[in-house]
C-alpha cells in the first residue's frame, strides 16, 4: 500500500497551552510556538508524518491528517 501523504497539521488553538513538547519532539523542526504561544507548523513540507507531536501532546491539541493514494482524508489516530 502506498505511504499516506501528509495533508494537514490540525492544531486546536483553544486546547494548545504552549508547553512546547511537540516542538521539542519533532525530529524535523516542523513546529514552532507563535507569538501567542500556540503551536504552528512553520515548515509543513518537512513533516514526515511520524506522529510524535500528536502522541506527545498532553492536551490532544494536534492531529496529523493524512491522505491515502485515493486522496481520501484519514486521521491516523482513528485508524488504531
Ligand atoms: S504539545 Fe500540544 S499543548 Fe503543547 S505546544 Fe504542542 S500542541 Fe500545544
Ligand atoms: S508528525 Fe512528526 S515530523 Fe510531522 S510535525 Fe509531528 S513530530 Fe514533526
DSSP classification of residue 55 = H
CA–CA gap between residue 66 and residue 37 (Å, rounded)? 25
Task: Please say whether the beta carbons of 62 and 37 come within 8 A.
Answer: no
Boundaries of domain holding 47: 5-79
Taken in order 69, 70, 71, 73, the sign of the CA dihedral is negative
pLDDT(78) > 70: no
Residue 30 near ligand 1, beta carbon < 6 Å: no
Count how many domains the chain has. 1
pLDDT recorded at residue 1? 63
Residue 26 near ligand 2, beta carbon < 6 Å: yes
CA–CA gap between residue 60 and residue 45 (Å, rounded)? 22
Kindly report, residue by residue over 6-65, the tens digit of the pLDDT.
Answer: 889 999 999 999 999 999 999 999 999 999 999 999 999 999 999 999 999 999 999 999
Q: How many CB atoms neighbour CB 27 within 10 A?
A: 11
pLDDT recorded at residue 8? 93
**67 C-alpha to center of ligand 1: Å?**
23
Amino acid at each position: 500500500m502506498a505511504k499516506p501523504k501528509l495533508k494537514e497539521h490540525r492544531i486546536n488553538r483553544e486546547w494548545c497551552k504552549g508547553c512546547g513538547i511537540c516542538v521539542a519532539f519533532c525530529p524535523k523542526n516542523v513546529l514552532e510556538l507563535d507569538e501567542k504561544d500556540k503551536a504552528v507548523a512553520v515548515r509543513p513540507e518537512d513533516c514526515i508524518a511520524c506522529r510524535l507531536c500528536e502522541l506527545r501532546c498532553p492536551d490532544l491539541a494536534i492531529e496529523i491528517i493524512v491522505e491515502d493514494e485515493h486522496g481520501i482524508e484519514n486521521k491516523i489516530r482513528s485508524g488504531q
